[in-house]
Amino acid sequence: MERIVSGIGAIFRPIAKELIKGGIVVADAVSEFASETSEQFKDLFAEAKAELEKSQNQGQETKETEGKDSHKGRSARTGGSHANE
């Protein structure tokens, strides 16, 4: 019986090793793909965040400029005095 098990083991051992090697190759490929995808996502996220911050800063500057312009308009209409406000 031991010889039969030993014979079967000798047949399946090389097959098992090839399957394991194939699994290692696939795992490495998946890991590399995931790493590249993650890096691309991080880059895309950073770009989107920078654009969002830029648009928010521009919006804030526009509001500040509009506020200053509206004060100038009132000053000109009221003769520079804020007493009428």
Q: How far apart are CA 31 and CA 26, in angstroms?
A: 8
- In the chain, where are the structural domains located? 40-67
Q: Write out pLDDT tens, residues 1-34.
A: 677 667 777 889 899 999 999 999 999 999 999 9
Instruction: Average the pLDDT over 56-83 and give the result.
Output: 64
Instruction: Average the pLDDT over 46-62 and give the result.
Output: 89
Share of the chain above pLDDT 90, in %: 49
Residue 84 dihedral angles phi and psi, to the nearest 5°: -80, -10
Which tokens hold the place of 26?
Answer: 């696939």
Q: How far is CA 70 from CA 23, 29, 74, 79, in A?
A: 69, 61, 6, 14
Whole-number average pLDDT of the chain? 81
Q: How confident is the model at residue 74 (pLDDT cuts 50, 70, 90)?
A: low
Q: How far apart are CA 9 and CA 32, in angstroms?
A: 34
